[in-house]
Amino acid sequence: MKAFKIFILCALCSFVAHAQKQYQLVSPDGKLKTNITAGKQLTYDITFDGQQVLEASPMAMTLDNGEVWGENDKPSKESRKSVNEKVASPFYRASEIANIYNELTLQFKGFNVEFRAYDDGIAYRFINKGKKPFKVVKELADFNFPFDVTAHVPYTIPRRKGHYNEQFWNSFENQYTTNNITKLEKEKLAFLPVIAELKNNVKLCLTEVNLESYPGLYVKPGNGNQLTSDFAPYPKRVEQGGHNMLQMIVKEYEDFIAKVEKPRHFPWRVAVVTDEDKDLASSTLSYLLAEPSRLEDISWIKPGKIAWDWWNDWNLDGVDFETGVNNPTYKAYIDFASKNGIEYVILDEGWAVNKKADLMQVVPEINLEELIAYATSKNVGLVLWAGYHAFNRDMENVCRHYSEMGIKGFKVDFMDRDDQEMTEFNYRAAEMAAKYHLILDLHGSHKPAGLNRTYPNVLNFEGVFGLEQLKWGKPGEVDLISYDVMIPFIRQVAGPMDYTQGAMRNATKENYRACNTEPMSQGTRCHQLALYMILDSPFNMLCDTPSNYEREQECTDFIGAVPTVWDETKVLSAKVGEHVVVARRSGEKWFVGAITNQDGREVKVDLSFLKDGKHKLTSFEDGINADRQAMDYKKRTSEVDSSSSITIKMVRNGGWCGVIE
């Protein structure tokens, strides 16, 4: 009897082994591997240089006909390929980037699953092959870690509290909570990207790419050492409301997450993996995995810097008119922009009649025709702020009308959702804006997720806990210094961001106070200046008032000279949550920026990336008293070459920046 039982057990094991098929995909450099198992469940794992960083993790999609992709599915065919090419990357951190990966595609009945292995990450996606429409009831995307790893996650901050689903109405802005996975709050959702810290300094950053007409992925603690997925259900009933009646608020949800009408690719699930923090800050996978540009002609797209009105509350001093949303104020902003090489001026909220959700109704204090003519004469472009519902309800008419008037683009705000209806809007808005040669800044939106490659006229995105928070953030609760040294490794992995730096009123963390009309930054002057090099931002705001910039002309001249797109980017030194040093090249000039956290530090970097010969370094450095008086800085000039190394000294909350030419 015992022998019979052993025979049966062995037979069962043999059957299971036979029923399961295993595949391996390895990165081009051989360090990163994923083992894929197809059988009862479709799973994958990840090892880095022999270290397990992700245990077998299931993936599946449940359809409304009861079919489950990824359960009891046997691949009918596999195909492999390797790619080694250069990809043009206009309006990004480099003019071109290397696209090198190995790919495995498993073909199933009705669907495929595609895996890619890069030297710095593993990605997979489902592909629908069928022509028959269906609904996705749910998607399973679990991430099983080998132990209780430390994670850095941004929780959602619901616009309205109450039901669990209210978390899907959020602005995708929050500071990072750091804790072991098992100690994260069970019913709180976190939006991507997130980071997990493993042994031997290995970091794994989770994000997603190609978020087109499909809801965004959220994570929360699952079973044991697991992060599990959740998605916003499809809206069943929406009502106009929210901020100044410019939003569509979901009142009821469907029992599915997405409609599928035809064959399509679903979003990439991406794990960026590296044991060098600077490589994490250098990741380009969100761009490489995105769909190529759908615009044949991009010659009309003009990135640049923007003089911004809202953060500084339209404040000007020394003028003979009352400042605010009126033509004299905006003419002053235009004059400032023209004088300092700033490409754009934005008219933020207030130029259109409030609470009408109608962009054709302009307030009487604004004569747009006059402003456009004046800006054109000064070689400055005008951009208009638009609330989501006002833009969406009359999109083509709005784009056609203002394009014909001479407006250069829109900053669209207060989407505050990433369900399928809203992610579809982002692509539709991008396409319509491109039709009329308009650039877009998607504010109040989720992470870029590759849209900036597919539609290069979408130059920037929010989805970041930016400088605006300091207009109202309570001291002790808002810590942008600590946040600043996190976002290059997390949020920026997903793409560019509208952080809105450039404050000229600077305060130490202890001296900071919230002030809506005369806001200040946390950290030193040099910390603010350095952010223009640290952050990817092709459409980059100057948040402060022209009056403050004119009092600080030396700093303003430097900001005006900093490009917003680059030929080359190098992260010279970096440690998550501590510091980052970035060098970016435009033509023959290198711009270098460095920031630190609450600790003062010295960072030594070599300049071997320079061309031969002598070069002039003009640097802005924290002053000797900057740890007490944050606006204290020193401008220096020195000579360097490719054999030089420089010691960057930063006070607590500090920074450093310079240009090498």
At a CB cut-off of 8 Å and minimum separation 6, what does 11 contact? none
In contact, 502 and 655? CB cutoff 8 Å: no
- Angle at CA of residue 529, ends 524 and 531, nearest 5°: 100
* Whether residue 468 lies in the annotated active site: yes
Q: In this structure, are residues 34 and 271 in contact, taking their beta carbons and an 8 Å threshold?
A: no
Contact (Cβ atoms closer than 8 angstroms) between residue 137 and residue 255: yes
Helix (H/G/I), strand (E/B), else coil: 576: coil
End-to-end CA distance of the chain: 85
Q: Which stretches of 72-193 are assigned E, i.e. beta strand?
A: 77-88, 96-107, 111-118, 121-128, 134-141, 143-144, 150-153, 177-180, 190-191
As to burial, measured by CB atoms within 10 angstroms (0-12 exposed, 13-18 middle, 19+ buried), residue 72 is exposed
The identity of residue 344, as a single letter, is: Y
Angle at Cα 324 formed by Cα 322 and Cα 325, nearest 5°?
130
- d(CA 584, CA 287) in angstroms, rounded, equals 18
| Cβ atoms of 143 and 226 closer than 8 Å | yes
Active site residue 552: no
Measured CA to CA, the distance from residue 307 to residue 358 in angstroms comes to 25
Scan for tokens 């901050």, then name that residue. Answer: 157
Beta strand 381-387 with 344-347: parallel, antiparallel or unpaired?
Answer: parallel
Strands 381-387 and 409-413: parallel
Q: In which residue are the tokens 């299971």 written?
A: 16
Tokens encoding 154? 């941004």
Point out the catalytic residue in the list 139, 173, 413, 419: 413
Is the separation of the CB atoms in 139 and 385 below 8 Å? no
Q: Of 116, 145, 315, which Cα lies nearest the Cα of 227?
A: 145
Which residue(s) pair with 228 in the sheet? 220
DSSP 203-264: EEEEEEE--SSSPPEEEEE-SSSEEEEEEPPPEEEEEEESGGG-EEEEEEE-S-SEEE-SSE
**Contact present, 454 and 290 (Cβ < 8 Å):** yes
Burial class of residue 71 (count of CB atoms within 10 Å of its CB; 0-12, 13-18, 19+): middle
Count CA within 13 A, CB hemisphere, residue 236: 8
Distance, in Å, from the CA atom of 312 to the CA atom of 503, rounded to the nearest integer, reads 9
CA distance 594 to 572: 9
- Reduced to 3 states, what is the DSSP secondary structure of residue 4? helix
Coil, strand or helix at 18: helix
Distance CA 439, CA 409 (A): 4
Strand partners, 33: 26, 47
Active-site residue identified among 208, 349, 468, 484: 468
Task: Supply angle C-alpha 70, 229, 77, rounded to 5.
Answer: 20
Element (H, E) at 484: helix 480-484
Secondary element (H or E) of residue 368: helix 368-377
Q: Which residues are catalytic?
A: 413, 468
